Amino acid sequence: MLVDVTTWYLEMLDPRQLRPAFSNNSKLLITRAEVPSPEFSRFLYSSVGGDWYWIDRLDWTYSRWLEYLESPELQTWVAYVSGTPAGYIELEAQLDNNVKIAYFCILRQFWGQRIGGHLLSFGVKQAWGMGAQRVWVHTCSLDGPYALANYQARGFQIYKEETQTKELPDEPIGPWLGAYRT
């Protein structure tokens, strides 16, 4: 199906712009995935992105995933609740001391628990710690209904907006093919 997709590009130019939101969930833990694991990263990507038409990486080979994950510019931080992965944030150091939030999302069963604001706040602090002079991200009208609001609530400002027509599957694929069908 053809769909008009609006993409918003947001940035933060100073660490003092961050308006953190932290959860008081004592079972929430965020840790860095330091060992490149294509299996785990693909699981995160498809588990959180399957609801939002994240399809760009689904055809990546094992070698392509490994090459991406071995990049010294990349950091992947995973939120766990009671030992279960709840979401993740990928930070990518770029030229001119930019750090891009490449991917950020929360698994469906953890929505509405304030984990998204917590993980985003944590990730932005990590980005500044990577030497960023600018932290940026893009989100689109296909992402979760609170994605843009969460970025703005944390202090990001829109600097560009564009709309393009994209060819998409008739419905999101979910975390795996047929996951939501009974």
Q: What span, in angstroms and rounded, lies between the C-alpha atoms of 25 and 137? A: 26
Residue entry with tokens 């510019």: 73
CATH number of 2-167: 3.40.630.30
The per-residue pLDDT for range 131-143, each reduced to its tens digit, is 999 999 999 998 8
Q: Give the residue from 101, 91, 107, 102 showing the smallest Cα distance to 28.
A: 107
The per-residue pLDDT for range 83-93, each reduced to its tens digit, is 999 999 999 99
C-alpha pair distances (Å), 82 with each of 28, 42, 47: 7, 21, 18
Q: Give the residue from 132, 68, 146 showing the smallest Cα distance to 104.
A: 146
Neighbouring residues of 63: CB distance < 8 A, sequence distance ≥ 6: none
The per-residue pLDDT for range 92-126, each reduced to its tens digit, is 999 999 999 999 999 989 998 999 999 999 999 99
Q: Give the residue from 177, 181, 169, 179 showing the smallest Cα distance to 53.
A: 169
Q: What span, in angstroms and rounded, lies between the C-alpha atoms of 53 and 164? A: 15
Question: What is the model's pLDDT at position 181?
Answer: 58
Q: Give the residue from 136, 131, 141 showing the smallest Cα distance to 155.
A: 136
Parse the chain into domains and list their residue ranges.
Answer: 2-167
Q: Which residue has the higher pLDDT, 54 or 35?
A: 35
Evaluate if residue 53 carries a pLDDT over 90: no
